[in-house]
Chain A
Amino acid sequence: MFLGRSLNLDGPLLIALLALSGLGLVVIFSASGESWDVMTRQGIRLAIAWAVLLAAAQIAPGTLRRFSPHLFAIGVAMLVAVLMFGAVAKGAQRWLDLGVIRFQPSELMKLAVPMMIAWLLTRNRLPPSFTAILLALSLTLIPSGLVVVQPDLGTGIMLAVSGLFVVFLAGIRWRHIFMMLAVVAAVAPYLWSQLNEYQRQRILTLFDPWADPMGTGYQTIQAQIAIGSAGVWGKGWLQGSQSHLEFIPERSTDFIFAVFAEEFGLIGVVMLLVLYLFIVGRCLVMAYHTRETYSRLMIGGLALTFFFYLFVNLGMVSGILPIVGVPLPLISYGGTSMLTLMAAFGLVMGLHARRRLMT
């Protein structure tokens, strides 16, 4: 991997990501109803995402760290701008039209939030003081709150979690964690009252999808039928009746895992899980071996966030978590989240590759 090393890349991670991208195209082809058009578009996005990964890996850790607050400030400003004059797509204001390109600042924040928190907490010795933790929490809640009101509850939660993971890794004391949990438990009833009717319905449906099989429970039930009817061996590629007869809603985006599971069965599902866990595990090992705290927090935080994405998506598709529009990382159709994830892996590789140059 001489070339890889000179480009600040990481061989094992690179191979796993390549495998996942390839698998993603295969699943997209089936989920889109065998549309070459959709697959080509996804292929182009993948190519761009890989270019972004290569570029992100070249950013020097010191530079990244230095500009963390700047990027964060720009991101927050753009989120405010989106709320004021953003474009509306699929019912929420998420896009900022910059004339030439349309840009989704919440995606930028997925990187900027962990960067900011890691920067903040590494300014002093770890473990962080109580004040530092409060500051970190507030800084996390600003962008995630701005995203929630767009409204995009899923991404808002993801942003909050990406900041919390960094705080966790930085060594927040357990009693502080329990205090936070207590606060969350205390405000939960209020938050519940603030949810939209359809969001509440999604959570209630979780407990009993069959209560309203033709209404709110429909998505969950159809996805479970798809997964369950696959058995151990699956129905075979392009053979999933649930997906090809269009019983699965959003089958090429948020619910693509149901398509995969239906066609490839438990065998395929386990292999996919292993592949994902390998990626997460490899990143955590990289975080472990990195010397410098900022890099360690960043790599670890991004890896855990990636895992959290996976967990939430699989949980919602298999019916143990409420449906919050979170795509299956690197496989669901759509470009923006893929770009961000690949940029994150680029940063991870870059930070890890230059771990020795820093001290």
Chain B
Amino acid sequence: MATLGAYGSSDGDGHAVRQRIKIASFIALGLALIIFFRLYTLQVKEYSRYQTLSLGNHIRLQALAPVRGLILDRHGTVLAQNTAVYTLQVIPEKISNMGAMLEEVSQVVALSADEIKAFKRRVSRRPGFEKQLLKSRLTDEQAAKFAVNEYRFPGVTLEAMLHRDYPRGELTAHFLGYVGRISERDQTRLDPAAYQGVTHTGKLGIERQYEQELLGKPGFEEVEIDAHGRTLRTINRERAIPGDNLSLTIDIELQQVAREALGSRRGAVVAMDPSTGEVLVMASSPSFDPNLFVDGIDQKTYSALRDLKDKPLLNRALYGRYAPGSTIKPLFGEAAVKVGINPNERIFCPGWYMLPDSTRQYRCWKKTGHGAVDLHAAIEQSCDVYFYEMGKRLGITQMAEVLTQFGLGRQSGVDLPDEPSGLVPTAEWKRSSRKEPWYPGEDLITAIGQGYLMTTPLQLARVAALLANRGQSIQPRLLLQKEDALSGQARDQASMTEITDTALGVDPEGMERVIKAMTAVMSSPRGTARLSGQRSAYSIAGKTGTAQVVAIAQGEEYDESALREEFRDHALFIAFAPVDDPKIAIAVVVENGGSGAGVAAPIARQVMDRYFIKALKRA
């Protein structure tokens, strides 16, 4: 049996297997006969039918790509459009000597090394009969020059194409996203029939989110061709249906103000109408030119953009993750009132806080202390010690509850792809993901918006909006309306976004107290953002925040000038205005900006000022 073990048993099994081989042979022969009869039917019995079809087969179907919908801002400014450009297209299998062709073409129309490289890469990856782009965006002069010489280059054609163009460039890059050539990865998720003749698809942002609406429906053209495949005439044409035009909730003028206010700093501004959730501003800095991506960005430029320390490709407004710092103190204030803590109770702030049975000191940002503060003063002056005490009393479970209630740690449902949820830590979360228990000290740092808590600027803007609404929930969105491009008729709105209008279970008294304190932040002589609130024609409720990026050791001082820039605190600010009839809610984050009051609040003020000036002008 040893030898059998090595090579498998031999003759005993042989007969059965041989039997099976015989059976298999017969089955195979049978199947081959089926194929033969099928071919016989086609080629002999139905020959004349197919011959007629073949002879009459001079009609070729050509797809007509639909025109992509325009994207406008809320006042009708064009943010994405289609412009006609000339391109050079090559059918590789019709070129006998590729090198010579490129050489000769470049004498007529200059070709860059990158263009040639990208072209060669596409040619090597696709079958030879497929048309490939050699050069896009020829100038009128280049196009004219090539047209005169076109006869010299069989297989190379000059074609006019509609090209996606973003006139506001980097101002809209992040929320709008961009279209790019349909990649092989895209092909897995796209329906080939819907994309006949279409070369580009939305890759990010609104362009991706509303791809279906923007795309339209391809048409086709039946053309008669001669025996050499040349087009003789068009027999029938079914027009392509252009995609819908989209109006966004964004106000591009405000966006511009926010962008300029951010300047060269890294950060984000999100503003929305608290009553509807319409996002007015979604700015992220630094930015990039989306037009670079439309025809496929070359590797060098792309790597340079991607690897920049400032990460211009990142939409910080949606994907940036920041500790909210003191901006969320109002939420804990409201929660404290709700659970029965007396808002008039004064807590003494000596400048630091200590848990019983511990020697660790938790500092207040104000070293000399705030003295005895109640809830109002604690929000107004952003006293950390007061909220350390609240954190201790509320505990993480109740804190997590109010944070979740205000939309943190989960998606807001905004109409942009891949929205992150941020993180609201709980004891269970820490146990399962970090394998560690929740420490009482972590209650304290969570209460001042530090620690594991992670929020996005969009979430913070929504927090501001929910405060403005006194707890009425809204879903942020960027789409204002869809419009049939041919008739100009607005499409049914109901199906677009469902606006959730559930009231959060907030405590009305706590809410009013907190809002009053937030008003004091902007207007009282001790308010942390009084400089940004002064001489305002409208009332503002705001809250500053300063989020630590690096831990400062016990007994050590935070000295901004001594820290490398990337370790400096993030500056945050949330606000809404006017206090009694809120029209705008805003969140500003400036990375490593230092203090929320000094850096973030003035940016918000500039945006809000412009908003109200515009509103006045319209009125």
**Which chain A residues have a beta carbon within 8 Å of chain B's beta carbons?**
32-33, 35-38, 61-62, 65, 88-92, 122-123, 125-127, 151, 165, 168-171, 197-198, 214-216, 218, 222, 224-232, 241-242, 244-247, 252-253, 261, 265-266, 269-270, 273, 277, 280-281, 284, 287-288, 291-294, 296-297, 300, 304, 307, 311, 314-315, 318-320, 358-359
Contacts and interface: CB of A to CB of B under 8 A. Distances in A.
B17 A297 contact: yes
A228 B8 contact: no
A32 B21 contact: no
B185 A168 contact: no
B229 A245 contact: yes
Given A32-B128, A245-B229, A311 B47 contact: no
Contacts of B111: none
Given A38-B93, A228-B47, A266-B44, A125 B13 contact: yes
B18 A229 contact: no
B61 A127 contact: no
Nearest to A252: B127
Nearest to A224: B42
Contacts, number: 196
Interface string B222-240: 0001010100000000000
Interface residues of B, number: 63
B128 A33 contact: yes
Q: What's the dominant secondary structure at chain A's contact region?
A: helix
Given A90-B184, A228-B47, A291 B93 contact: no
Contact of B38 (A35, A91, A320): A320
A291 B35 contact: no
Contact of A168 (B10, B20, B25): B20
Interface string B1-36: 001011111111110111111001100110110111
B50 A62 contact: no
A169 B20 contact: yes
In the A-B complex, the 5 residue pairs with the smallest Cβ-Cβ separation, listed nearest first, are: A228-B50, A122-B8, A229-B54, A91-B187, A126-B13
Interface in B41-86: 42-44, 46-47, 49-51, 53-55, 57, 60-61
Contacts of B187: 90-91
A314 B9 CA distance: 37
B43 to A, nearest CB: 4
Interface stretch (B188-196, B242-250, B429-437, B579-587): B188-196
B220 interface: yes
Given A245-B229, A359-B10, 14 more contacts: A33-B129, A36-B96, A38-B128, A169-B21, A170-B20, A171-B17, A228-B53, A229-B50, A232-B47, A241-B227, A242-B57, A245-B60, A284-B25, A297-B17
A315 B47 CA distance: 18
A293 B220 CA distance: 58
B28 A304 contact: yes
B120 to A, nearest CB: 13
Given A224-B50, A266-B40, A214 B128 contact: no
Nearest to A266: B43
B563 interface: no
A41 to B, nearest CB: 10
A293 B10 contact: yes
B161 interface: no
B339 interface: no
A261 B43 contact: yes
B39 interface: yes
A296 B188 contact: no
A157 to B, nearest CB: 16
A246 B20 CA distance: 44
Given A37-B93, A171-B17, A126 B50 contact: no
Nearest to A121: B8
A311 B35 contact: yes
Contacts of B49: 228
B188 A91 contact: yes
Given A284-B21, A358-B7, A293 B47 contact: no
Contacts of B57: 222, 225, 241-242, 245, 247
Contacts of A314: 35, 39
Nearest to A230: B43
A170 B17 contact: yes
Contacts of B31: 307, 311
Interface of B: 3, 5-14, 16-21, 24-25, 28-29, 31-32, 34-36, 38-40, 42-44, 46-47, 49-51, 53-55, 57, 60-61, 92-94, 96, 125, 127-129, 183-185, 187-188, 191-193, 220, 225, 227, 229
Nearest to A277: B32
6 contacts: A65-B8, A91-B187, A224-B42, A225-B57, A229-B47, A359-B10
Contacts of A214: 61, 220
Contacts of A126: 9, 13, 16-17
A243 to B, nearest CB: 11
A231 B184 contact: no
A91 B49 CA distance: 37
Contacts of A122: 7-9
Given A229-B53, A293-B13, A296-B14, A273 B32 contact: yes
A242 B54 contact: yes
Contacts of B6: 62
Nearest to B20: A169
Contacts of B96: 36
Given A33-B93, A291-B11, A297-B17, A231 B35 contact: no
A293 to B, nearest CB: 4
A296 B11 CA distance: 11
B418 to A, nearest CB: 18
Contacts of B17: 126, 169-171, 293, 296-297, 300
**Candidate in A123, A228, A314 with the most chain B CB atoms within 10 angstroms:** A228
Nearest to A125: B9
Contact of A280 (B16, B28, B128, B184): B28
A24 B125 CA distance: 22
B90 to A, nearest CB: 13
A273 B183 CA distance: 38
A125 B92 CA distance: 58
Nearest to B225: A245
B225 A270 contact: no
A335 to B, nearest CB: 13
Contacts of A218: 61
B611 to A, nearest CB: 45
B24 A304 contact: yes
Contact of A291 (B10, B38, B127): B10
A353 B9 CA distance: 19
B226 to A, nearest CB: 9
Contacts of B61: 214, 218
Contacts of B9: 122, 125-126, 293
A214 B8 CA distance: 55
Given A37-B93, A269-B39, A61 B7 contact: yes
B39 A231 contact: no
A232 to B, nearest CB: 6
B168 to A, nearest CB: 32
Given A37-B128, A127-B16, A229-B47, A169 B24 contact: yes
